[in-house]
Structure 1
Amino acid sequence: MPAVGHRRHHDRHPKKVREWVRWVAPEPGWLKLNTDGASKGNPGKSGGGSILRDHQGNVIFTTYRSYGFQTALVAECLALIDGLESFSDLGLVDSGFRLFIESDSMILVNALSGISGVPEEIQFCWPLLHYWLHFVYGKFDVGHVYREGNTEADLLANKGVIAEEGVDGQTRGYRWTNKCWTCYFPTSMCRWQEQRDRGYPCSLHKNLGHMRN
């Protein structure tokens, strides 16, 4: 007599599920630093960008920079260093705000969280990253975000790729005006910012194998 039981199998054609992904503002008392790195060729011509916002989505500063010939992961690490350096340079360490760091690089997030070791290719810049992190020690957290929720940082990173390397190799998109930092976005970034303010989310498509009995 044949055995009786349930049989599970995958559908031959996985269903595409749409998941809405968007940037989420931090809680009051927190500032959120989104960073991203880009490399055209990996390794190749690279750049990075960062953007700091408050709980209402107001932009405090942005950075973008060319890193020359690097891998994407190195660019991710250097972009975070630039963001932390700007956070410290602006005197925000003693502002009373806590810092939430958000990146779409799971490798970098896991290394920062201690979930995994530091990859060999970014060990050379890890001491400098720790130097800037010690300024916010005990006052920061880190999390992962999908690229669709990291759009502004991605645009800045790509602007960094095509930016000319200046004397210090860095251009920051803010200026001090009447005791507040005014940000100057690239045109494409202004469009994304306007869409975010109007509540338009970005979409992320995933292919999920549907299980059935």
Structure 2
Amino acid sequence: MEGYLCHLLEKVHDAPPANSKFKTRETTTFVAPASSGRKTFVKSAEFSHLAKDSFPKAERQKIWVKWVAPTDGWFKLNTDGSCLGNPGSMATAGIIRDHHGNWVSGFSKQLGFGTSLKAELCAIALGIKLAKDLACRKLVVESDSLSAVKLLFENYSCNSHTSGALIQFCRSTLPDFSEVQVCHTLREGNMCADALAKHANLSSDAWKVYDTLPGFLRSCFFADHVGISHVREASVL
């Protein structure tokens, strides 16, 4: 699988068709024209300086976050990338579960030196390839990297991005599922994938597929399985 994916990534160049059938719950993206970049930055800095006392300060509020199983007949892929420094040593991981929250499969891979965003995109690419191989026709993809999720849906050619091949692979593979959703989740809802990615960064295994639940993930996995929530502080106005 690893070699097949690498082969595909070397070949892709063009953006996907505009009518691709996959979607995301994170749909709002703001992109400034490249020619106005410096002017926009300066005006933004001036506005921030002049108006910083004109807006109410955001308050910190505790919210509860947990992993949620997909609906009946769907599978959920949680992915995460680990980077020791940015850039630094990269690793990636993903976990596939069914609508009962049962383990279906998982993977991890060391990636060498790179950025955290590249690790996140690699995790999504490898995860959807594994899900496709396992015939998961209806798939929810969750990543705690909002930047990675948005890159899959921004309207520009992949050739302009340093990870363009990974982005194009994801864009061209997602429509192969009968139904698919790509969503951003908070870290507390992605803890099993996070733990697996961190383990991969400290492991000597270049590539590993987990057909059964590994022992070091048991406590995290069963916490998700029974619906344990984790507290997180969020800013609210």
TM-score (norm: length of structure 2): 0.69
Which residue of structure 2 aligns with residue 100 of structure 1? 140
Matched, 1:125 2:166: yes
Please tell me the root mean square deviation across aligned C-alpha atoms, in Å: 2.3
Higher strand share: 1
**Equivalent residue of 2:162, what SS?**
helix
1: distance between equivalents of 2:191 and 2:131?
A: 20
Q: Are the aligned partners of 1:113 and 1:142 in contact in 2 as well (CA < 8 Å)? A: no
Which residue of structure 1 aligns with residue 210 of structure 2? 173
Bigger radius of gyration among the two: 1
2: distance between equivalents of 1:114 and 1:9?
A: 30
Could you report, residue by residue, the CA deviation over 1:58-83 in whole angstroms, capped at 9, with x for unpaired residues? Answer: 11011111111110110011111211
2: distance between equivalents of 1:29 and 1:114?
A: 29
1: distance between equivalents of 2:162 and 2:138?
A: 29
1: distance between equivalents of 2:55 and 2:125?
A: 47
Deviation at 1:199, TM superposition (A): 3.0
Distance change (3 Å), C-alpha of 1:164 and 1:48: same
Q: Are the aligned partners of 2:110 and 2:207 in contact in 1 as well (CA < 8 Å)? A: yes
Task: Output aligned runs, 1:133-172, within 5 Å.
Answer: 133-136=174-177, 138-165=178-205, 169-172=206-209
List gaps (5 residues or longer) in structure 1: 1-7, 175-182
Which residue of structure 2 aligns with residue 5 of structure 1? none
**Equivalent residue of 2:71, what SS?**
coil
Identity percentage of aligned residues: 29
Higher helix share: 2
TM-score (norm: length of structure 1): 0.76
List gaps (5 residues or longer) in structure 2: 1-53
> What residue identity is the alignment partner of 2:191?
T
Which residue of structure 2 aligns with residue 34 of structure 1? 78
